[in-house]
Amino acid sequence: MRLLHSMLRVGNLDQSLAFYTGIMGMRLLRRKDYPGGRFTLAFVGYCEESEGSVIELTHNWDSSEYTLGNAFGHIAIGVDDIYKVCQRIRQSGGNVIREPGPMRHGSTIIAFIEDPDGYKIELIQH
């Protein structure tokens, strides 16, 4: 068994794709409209789906926003230079909501950013 993908519901698919591909550097792996169900699925990631886990962005055509609730935590992405990555994200218009630094009660260097729908993404220094 292996983890295939995590799904996020997004209010504006074009805006989310711009964030995940432009700011986060992922690739659009596939996209398909389902007119009968009035939704679109877009899969983004750093590698092919056959090689690793990806993110499924689900856009329900009749919904432009969602209440995130408090059960979902975040997505985590490992990075080589967290300070440069946060600087690039900020310069590209991304929202860094926790600057890089050691995690509370530990020494791992982390930062948090937010996607256009408010989902949190933890960056972890390799």
Q: Which residues are catalytic?
A: 122
Determine the Cα angle at 27 with ends 23 and 30, to 5°. Answer: 135
Beta strands in 46-94 (DSSP E): 54-60, 75-79
Q: How many other C-beta atoms can be found within 10 angstroms of the C-beta atom of residue 103?
A: 13
What is d(CA 59, CA 8) in angstroms, rounded to the nearest whole number? 9
Output the CA–CA distances (angstroms, integers) from residue 118 to 40, 68, 112, in the order listed: 20, 8, 11
Amino acid in the structure at residue 118 = G
